[in-house]
Amino acid sequence: MTDLHDSIATLRRPRLLIRAARCGQGEYNRARDLKRLMRLAEAPPPEAALRALIAEEAVLEAHRREGCAQYSLARHIELLIAMMAEARLLPRPGA
């Protein structure tokens, strides 16, 4: 799980994206939002969810940088909110 914590810790995104995601933390509801974001009937365990979210966020980040028409700022922020929330559910490294 350390690699997941490292992935989150080394993530470099524009300040405005991160700030928007932090503001959305209070409204995040795992049971509702994670299923919708991942398009699943049931929310997976935090580690599996975070791996999938990181992969999808990387694709969105590439689209953002390339200026692709299919880039969705709202979805990008929603993914970042979910990533932050799921990372908090993982055990701390060395704990």
* Residue ranges of domains in the chain: 2-89
> 10-68, pLDDT tens digit by residue?
889 999 999 999 999 999 999 999 999 999 999 999 999 999 999 999 999 999 999 99
What pLDDT sits at residue 36?
Answer: 94
The C-alpha angle with vertex 2 and arms to 27 and 4, in degrees rounded to 5, equals 45
Q: Cα(91)–Cα(46) distance, rounded to whole angstroms?
A: 10
Phi, psi of 22 (to 5 degrees): -65, -40
Residue 80 has pLDDT above 80, yes or no: yes
- The pLDDT value recorded for residue 14 is 94
- The pLDDT value recorded for residue 60 is 97
Higher confidence at residue 40 or residue 6?
Answer: 40
Measured between alpha carbons, how far is 75 from 37 in angstroms, rounded to an integer?
8
Question: How far apart are the C-alpha atoms of 37 and 10, rounded to whole Å?
Answer: 23
Q: Is the pLDDT reported for residue 1 higher than 90?
A: no
The rounded distance, in Å, linking the Cα atoms of 75 and 71 is 8
